[in-house]
Structures are given as C-alpha cells and as structure tokens.
Structure 1
Amino acid sequence: MTSTPLDLGRPIAGDVVELILDDHRRFEELLRTLRDASSDRDAVRRAFAALHVAHAEAEEQEVYPTLRRKRAVSAHEAEHGEHEHAEGNEALLAVLELKGTDTDAFDDAVEELARVVNHHLTEEELTILNPAREEVSERARAELGLAFVRVRNAQLDDDCGRLENVRRIVARAARRGLLDEEDDQD
C-alpha cells in the first residue's frame, strides 16, 4: 500500500483558540481513521504523531506561558496540560513502536491513545480555551495565534513525529516527573 501524506493544515495566522480547536478536530478525525482497519494506518499514525508533537510543543512553548502571564489560566491548569501532553506522547509512543498495524496489540494501543487524547481535548477546551476566550483580547489571541502556528509549523517541518523524537520527548517528560502518578482528582 502506497503511503500518502495526510494534510495536517498549515495555518499562517488566526485566533489561537480557533487554531487549537481546528487541530483538536484533526486529532479526532485522525483517531477515527486510525481505528479503521481499511485505512493506511501506518501513514495515519505518522501524521497523528507529527500533529500531536507539533501541537503540544507549540502550546507549551507559547500558549500556556502567555495565558499564565495574562492570568487567564492558573499555573496548575498549565502544568496539568503539560502532564496530559506527556501522557499523550507516552500513549503515542506505544502506537509508534508496534511493528504491525493489523494486530490486537495495535488496536489496544490506539484505544488507549484515543482515551488519553480525548480526555485532554475535553479538559483543555473547558479549562484553558474557555478562559482564553473570556479573559484575553481578540488582538492578543491573534498575536498568540501567530506564535502558535510559527512553532507548530516549524515542528512539522522538522519531522517532529518521528519515533526517535517521540522517544526523546517521553524520556524528557519522565525526567521532569510529568509521567509520575498524579492525583486524578483534577
């Protein structure tokens, strides 16, 4: 089966909230396609990996720190978002490390990835994006959108979803304590 690169979008500007939501809808579509045994699951997992890493890195480098400075979100909410990105990357790594895409192990790993990512999307939309809409001006959201897409697109250009890079990111998160058991009362 010939692998066709999937369109991950290359926005150049926009309201950061809308840009993040657009990526969230892409994640949901990629997860649906990843569950489809008739799809090119290897291409889909590579596309998902690239988008997940690029999106998370852009949020952690630009969005979360800016929203904290503007007091739209608390330090705890930003740190919790980073913790959930780390969990997502860990689940993603499990999917990437599997050789075959037509096994029960692959299906189980995709199910866990979907569980972790969907939980994060819901929480982020409620606890980070809603406050950003309410507490941050349109102009500031547009400026933050530029910063977000700059990092996101640069990460995609650097092939950020490759297995070695995801391994490095997961190891960094483990060293930072982001993968330790945390109280799940959040």
Structure 2
Amino acid sequence: MPDPIDLGRPTEGDVLDLISDDHRRFERLLAQLRDTTQDRDAVRRAFADALIAHGEAEEELVYPVLRKKATEIGQDEVEHGHEEHAEGNQALLHVLELKGTDTQAFDDAVEKLSNLIAHHIAEEEITIISPARESVGERVRADLGAKWAARRNELIDRGCGSVDNVRRIVAEADREGLLSDD
C-alpha cells in the first residue's frame, strides 16, 4: 500500500506561515499530479481536500481579520482573492469530474489548474500575506493560525474535496457572480 499523501495537520502557528506552508504543499501536490508515475487519482482527491479546506478556512476566518487589521489590504484585494479561489475551484471541479487520469484531457485540465493556482499563490503572497506580515501583530496572527488550522483540519476530516461538495461551492460562486463566463 502506498504511503498516504501528507496534507499536513497544523494545530498552531503564525497564520501567514501556515498559509504559505500550504502554498508549498499545493505546488508539491500539483507536481505529483503531473507525474504519470504517481497514483494521480489519489493525488487529485488529496489535493481537492487540501485546496478546498485551505480556501474555505481562509475566506471564512483570515480574509475578514486581515482586511480589518492591515490598511494596505483593501477590499479589492480580498474580493480578487475570492474570485481567484472560485476560478481555482472551478478548474479543480473539471479535474475531479474527468473519469481517467491517463488522458490528454486530464493533462490539459491539470495544466490549467496548476497555472491558476500558481498565479493565485504569487498574487496572494504579494498583495495580502506580505503586507499583513508588517501590519498585523504576532499575537493576532498566532490566534488566527490556531483557528484557521482547526477549521482547515475539520474540513479535511469531513472530506470537503468531494466532487459533490466542490460542485456546490462552484455553483454558489457562480450565483455570487465570482466566475466569468469564459
């Protein structure tokens, strides 16, 4: 039996470090998802749980606090973060809905997902995480880290990356106007 895929189980820490750690984990999982020698179905299920848990906990707990505490982080940055999460979730749904993992369609869908996630990570680290490091106190970041980690882990335990849940999240984002028509 192959080793289980490490999704991390943080319980505490600076929320900005925990989010950055997850970003590095996403990059590793996406590399595994592109690797045809991996169990790509297991990797996509693990990636789905990690990505959905990360984004849901971030939007629910982190963005609102950082928006209030860091004057450099405007409503535009937060809204753009929500839109990029929605686009990534939509691309993830496409990857999850594909039947096989050994097709050109799968490779193309993974490439699109990888590009969206890489763009979001870079932008979020520049426009949200970096300014928050300078203007949000360590105690607030530590308190937020414990809350974010607990919520993230709870969502993973619930199987939040299931295709049905991702469909629900994408449909909700579409109703909210977070997804473009293309």
Shorter-chain TM-score tier: over 0.9
Distance in 2 between the 1:10 and 1:139 partners? 21
Contact 1:55–1:152 under 8 Å retained in 2: yes
Q: TM-score, normalised by structure 2?
A: 0.96
Cα deviation code 1:124-160 (max 9, x no counterpart)? 0000000110110111110110111121111101100
Output the amino acid matched with 2:137: S
Which is worse superposed, 65-74 or 20-29?
65-74
Determine if the alignment matches structure 1 residue 12 to structure 2 residue 11: yes
What is the alpha-carbon distance in structure 1 between the residues aligned to residue 8 and residue 2 of structure 2?
Answer: 18
What TM-score do you get using the length of structure 1 for normalisation?
A: 0.94
Residue in structure 1 matched with residue 140 of structure 2 by the alignment: 140
Secondary structure at 2:80's aligned position in 1?
Answer: helix
- C-alpha distance in 2 between matches for 1:159 and 1:4: 19
Measured after TM superposition, the shift of residue 180 of structure 1 is: 2.4
Change (3 A) 1:45 1:82: same
Residues 54, 155 of structure 1: 8 Å contact kept:
yes
**Which consecutive residues of structure 2, in runs of 5 or more, have no partner in the other structure?**
none
Q: Deviations over 1:63-83 (max 9, x none)?
A: 100011113411111110010
Aligned sequence identity (%): 61
How much does 1:42 deviate? 0.1
Please report how far the alpha carbon of residue 181 of structure 1 lies from its aligned counterpart in structure 2 after TM superposition: 5.5
Poorly superposed stretches of 4+, deviation over 3 Å: 2-5
Cross-structure match for 1:96 = 96
The SS at the match of 1:27 is helix
* C-alpha separation in 2, matches of 1:24 and 1:152: 14
Q: Which residue of 2 aligns with 1:105?
A: 105
Number of residue pairs the alignment of both structures matches: 181
| Separation in structure 1 between the aligned mates of residue 12 and residue 171 of structure 2, nearest angstrom | 32
Which position in structure 1 is the counterpart of 2:121?
Answer: 121
Alignment match, 1:71:
70
Distance 1:40 1:10 in 2: 22
Match of 1:61 in 2: 60
1:97 partner letter: E
Q: What CA distance in whole angstroms lies between the structure 2 residues aligned with 1:39 and 1:146?
A: 32
2:166 alignment partner in structure 1: 166
1:82 aligns with 2:79: no
